[in-house]
Amino acid sequence: MKPRADFDEDFGFSGLTKYLQFRSAPRDAAGLLSFVEMILEEKGRAYALEVIEDALRLTRSPLSDEMLSTIWLVTTEARFDPMSAGVNIRTWLEQITDTCASFIRLTDSSFEPADPAPASHPELLEDVLAELRGIGPVMADKAATSIYVPPLPLLVSTLKTAVTTFGPDLGFRLLLRAMKVYFVPIGPSRLKRLEEIGSQLGYHKWVVEDGSLNIWSDLSD
């Protein structure tokens, strides 16, 4: 796998969904999968491998379909809802995995996705959960009142389950995506802590703060 610091933007499932929230992204299943192919052509094999690993973690997890749907809808800003189109969320995630695998097979015909590696950096688990607890009330309110995303009453509990199930890496990136989608206000102290978590996870600094966080200089948190 490519070193995390070599990705100068979000990557994996959270990075892919950042692009799927664009208003130019198609709103039908076939069109969106073609859009994923276009992204992979630009980003390359290493990016596709990260998406596959994250998507497999999600698909094979004990999280309920409702929780997985919550993750999909918040990270993509609900630009396309596969469930409303009659597609089971796990089936949809498998289609994304297959799309990534097919892209890799264009240059490596024998490629088969490997099982996800064990979750890394368990020592950061409580740090990520602490940040989630800190912004939880604000995020819960935004998840209920946003005019851009349908109400997601399970969002905060789903993110907590995601962090504890998937570990600090994927869990932290999903938390960041939700913070950016809902433009959750944070202060300089929280930003510093988020950047420190990202640094310890081996991320490029732009994975955490890419200009999408809502930073208030006078907010103390």
Q: What is the pLDDT of residues 166-185, one digit of tens each?
A: 999 999 999 999 999 999 99
pLDDT given for residue 23 in this prediction = 82
Same domain (yes/no): 153, 184: yes
Instruction: Give the tens place of pLDDT for each residue, 94-143.
Output: 999 999 999 999 999 999 999 999 999 999 999 999 999 999 999 999 99
Domain count, the chain: 2
- Band (3; pLDDT cuts 50, 70, 90): confident
For residue 116, tell me if it sits in a domain.
no
Considering the domain architecture, whether residues 19 and 52 belong to the same structural domain is answered as yes
Q: Which of 80, 105, 130 is the last residue of a domain?
A: 105
pLDDT (mean) for 147-163: 95
pTM across the whole model: 0.96
206 touches 8 (CB < 8 A): yes
Residue 24: predicted pLDDT: 87
In a shared domain, residues 12 and 67: yes
pLDDT in tens, 74-90: 999 999 999 999 999 99
In which domain, by residue range, is 45 found? Answer: 4-105
Confidence of residue 39 (pLDDT cuts 50, 70, 90): very high
Contacts 24+ apart (CB under 8 A), 95-100: 95/29, 95/33, 96/16, 96/33, 96/36, 96/51, 96/55, 97/51, 97/52, 97/55, 97/56, 97/59, 99/33, 99/36, 99/37, 99/40, 100/36, 100/40, 100/48, 100/49, 100/51, 100/52, 100/55
Instruction: Report if residue 200 sits inside a domain.
Output: yes
One domain for residues 9 and 99? yes
Query: Do residues 156 and 136 touch, judged by C-beta distance below 8 A?
Result: yes
